[in-house]
């Protein structure tokens, strides 16, 4: 069993809150112990980050990019270790863990390159006697609070660009995946960042996360997680720069002219990737009435033939357990509520027996889901395809836009013009045409639509870098010759 510590001011040390066991959701075994920070630890980490910020901010962007390259090299060297730790701690299949580790490296590579191109400008002055210079400068200390579903990339999509732009970072990971997060911190530490530039503070969000985002020396806050917690973070961090990537209830709309084979294939990715524990998961499958029965049959058949629930370390497994009991209990409630309301379980629908823990749930298809059911209105965060029947594309768009969420959506149709028209009118920050809601590219802007509960700001590529820097204006006298130029040399 491995013991992990806090990382504060460039050194590892115990936490004032003791330590907590890391328990594998797939085996039920305690495999590590992780230090727990207390309020004094938070204060020390933030102050260390604040002390380290001026020199880090003053470094050349090319020097910070080189540091990002060293992180990428360390990730590459320890790729197998990172992937296996992620599967053990989070529960996702090993193949998905390797994908996440590879994307983690991409975030640091992009951040380093984008830092070199973070440009200012020379706007005109009203006076011929003045010159104006604007440049983007880092904010200072950024507190990052990240979730357990993608423990590496959901933190790195914020802290990699924040670091590359010249900020220092204090990271509070989700408690149920703090062991693999500690391992990632040890990888980042190999890059020899100056003391205080990156801090690691595992512990309960209501204590450690709350203290970090509310600390008076923290200038910016990045949070990825639930809508409810995001609201608490936003209030606690009032007055600070905020980037909040919150939940979704992504509709996947299947119109009558859609390619059913393509749509059914995409439904598997939308519903079962990471066991459905993704803010971009397909949470509602809105299907036109003429093809609803055929689509349901296709998805049921694909689920039964293609999805293999089991040990996430087994190469044959395509879906592992849920990460924690709270998520599993929500899955149970949503299924029970839907069945009580008249929905029909076509596949799965319950926890799977015969496994080391109770966190294994069956991949599920529900037909006959209607408006007002909890599974139609809320974010389930589990492996389920809830099918809602509509009479027209207009009704599908209305249901899409009726949700308070506005993160992702997808539409399937053989008519590209029709798909584009739907995408333009859908109230979501990201819309895919003929592709799963889970399709995204990490360099593109991603976040909730304004006015929705799905957050504010954008992750992806350079966009967090713009959030965690601000324009600084410098006005200076126009240069002039103090004496006539001398004769040519």
Q: Quick check: helix, strand or coil at residue 251?
A: strand
Mean predicted lDDT score pLDDT of the chain: 97
Portions of the chain given CATH number 3.40.309.10: 251-433
Portions of the chain given CATH number 3.40.605.10: 2-246+454-474
Verify whether residue 279 is a known catalytic residue: yes
pLDDT of residue 480: 87
The candidate with the shortest Cα–Cα distance to 341, out of 295, 374, 312, is 374
Verify whether residue 68 is a known catalytic residue: no
Rounded to whole angstroms, the Cα distance separating 36 from 15 reads 5
pLDDT of residue 481: 76
Rounded to whole angstroms, the Cα distance separating 473 from 136 reads 9
Q: Which of 44, 96, 157, 245 is catalytic?
A: 245
Number of H helices, E strands in the chain: 15, 20
pLDDT of residue 483: 64
pLDDT of residue 239: 96
The token pair at 376 is 């139609």
For the chain (489 residues), the mean pLDDT of every run of 10, in chain order, is 96 98 98 98 98 98 98 98 98 98 98 96 96 97 98 98 98 98 98 97 97 98 97 97 95 98 98 97 97 98 98 98 98 98 98 98 98 96 98 97 97 98 98 96 96 96 96 95 64
- CATH number for 251-433: choose from 1.20.1440.130, 3.40.309.10, 3.40.50.1240, 3.40.605.10: 3.40.309.10
Measured in whole angstroms, the distance separating CA 128 from the mean position of its chain's CA atoms is 48
Q: Which of 279, 283, 288, 378 is catalytic?
A: 279
| Alpha helices per DSSP H over 403-476 | 416-425, 463-467
- pLDDT tens digits along 34-53: 999 999 999 999 999 999 99
Distances (CA, A) of 261 to 83, 243, 316, 367: 32, 38, 23, 18
The candidate with the shortest Cα–Cα distance to 454, out of 202, 317, 311, 283, is 283
pLDDT of residue 488: 61
Phi, psi of 5 (to 5 degrees): -115, 175
Distances (CA, A) of 91 to 146, 249, 348, 384, 413: 17, 22, 19, 17, 35
- pLDDT tens digits along 122-174: 999 999 999 999 999 999 999 999 999 999 999 999 999 999 999 999 999 99
Is pTM beyond 0.85? Reply is: yes
Fold entry, domain 2-246+454-474: Aldehyde Dehydrogenase; Chain A, domain 1 (3.40.605)
């Amino acid at each position: 069993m491995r013991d992990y510590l806090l990382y504060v001011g460039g050194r590892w040390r115990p936490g004032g809150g003791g330590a907590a066991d890391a328990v594998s959701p797939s085996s039920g075994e305690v495999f590590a112990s992780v230090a727990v920070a207390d309020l004094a630890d938070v204060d020390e980490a933030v102050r260390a980050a604040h002390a380290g910020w001026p020199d880090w901010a003053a470094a050349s962007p090319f020097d910070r990019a080189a540091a990002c390259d060293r992180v990428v090299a360390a990730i590459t060297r320890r790729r197998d270790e990172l992937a296996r730790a992620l599967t053990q701690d989070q529960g996702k299949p090993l193949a998905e863990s390797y994908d996440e580790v590879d994307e983690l490296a991409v975030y640091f590579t992009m951040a380093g390159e984008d830092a070199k191109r973070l440009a200012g400008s020379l706007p005109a002055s009203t006076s011929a006697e003045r010159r104006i210079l604007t440049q983007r400068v880092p904010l200072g200390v950024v507190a990052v609070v990240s979730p357990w579903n993608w423990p590496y990339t959901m933190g790195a999509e914020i802290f990699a660009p924040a670091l590359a732009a010249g900020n220092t970072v204090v990271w509070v990971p989700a408690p149920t995946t703090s062991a693999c997060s500690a391992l990632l911190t040890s990888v980042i530490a190999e890059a020899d960042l100056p003391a205080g530039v990156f801090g690691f503070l595992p512990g309960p969000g209501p204590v450690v996360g709350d203290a970090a985002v509310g600390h008076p020396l923290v200038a910016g806050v990045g949070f990825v997680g639930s809508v409810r917690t995001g609201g608490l973070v936003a209030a606690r961090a009032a007055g600070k720069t905020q980037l909040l990537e919150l939940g979704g209830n992504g509709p996947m709309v299947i119109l009558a002219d859609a390619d059913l084979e393509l749509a059914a294939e995409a439904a598997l990715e939308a519903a079962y990737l990471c066991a459905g524990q993704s803010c971009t998961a397909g949470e509602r499958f809105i299907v036109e009435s003429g093809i609803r029965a055929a689509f349901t049959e296709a998805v049921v058949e694909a689920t039964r033939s293609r999805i293999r629930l089991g040990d996430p370390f087994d190469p044959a497994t395509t879906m592992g357990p849920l990460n924690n009991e709270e998520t599993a209990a929500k899955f149970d409630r949503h299924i029970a509520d839907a069945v009580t309301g008249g929905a029909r379980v076509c596949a799965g629908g319950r926890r799977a027996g015969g496994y080391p823990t109770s966190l294994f749930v069956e991949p599920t298809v529900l037909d006959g889901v209607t408006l007002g059911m909890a599974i139609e209105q809320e974010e389930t965060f589990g492996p389920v395809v809830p099918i809602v029947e509509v009479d027209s594309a207009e009704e599908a768009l209305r249901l899409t836009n009726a949700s308070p969420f506005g993160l992702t959506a997808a539409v399937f149709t053989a008519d590209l013009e029709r798909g584009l028209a739907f995408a333009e009118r859908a109230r979501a920050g990201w819309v895919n045409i003929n592709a799963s809601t889970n399709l995204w590219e990490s360099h593109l802007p991603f976040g909730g639509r304004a006015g929705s509960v799905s957050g504010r700001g954008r992750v992806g590529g350079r966009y967090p870098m713009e959030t965690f820097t601000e324009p600084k204006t410098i006005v200076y006298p126009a240069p002039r010759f103090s004496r006539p130029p001398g004769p040519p040399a």
